Amino acid sequence: MVTINGKEVVLADNTSVSAYLEACSYKTDRIVVELNEEILPKDRYAETILKDGDCMEIVTFVGGG
């Protein structure tokens, strides 16, 4: 089980960060991912596999004025 934005989520084995983000329709140019209290560089989303016990926070940037 993985904790994502404070909620426990059960994912299929070998789910990458990018696969999760795509499945949830996140636009990667408008977010930052923190995995286990460290910012995950965007170029590592595809290679980073979410594991049992991971904690991921997805922060979305919102424009305004």
- Position 5 scores a pLDDT of 97
- Position 54 scores a pLDDT of 98
State the DSSP code for 22: H
What digits encode the pLDDT tens for the residues 7-62?
999 999 999 999 999 999 999 998 999 999 999 999 999 999 999 999 999 998 87
Total count of domains within the chain = 1
> Does residue 56 form part of some domain?
yes
> Does residue 52 form part of some domain?
yes
CATH number at residue 26: 3.10.20.30
> Does residue 35 form part of some domain?
yes
- Position 8 scores a pLDDT of 97
Distances from the Cα of 63 to the Cαs of 30, 31, 51, 59, in angstroms? 10, 12, 32, 13
- Position 65 scores a pLDDT of 64
Contacts of 64 (CB under 8 A, 6+ apart): none
pTM of the predicted model, to two decimals?
0.90
> Does residue 51 form part of some domain?
yes
- Position 62 scores a pLDDT of 78
Cα distance from N-terminal residue to C-terminal residue, the chain: 39
> Does residue 65 form part of some domain?
no
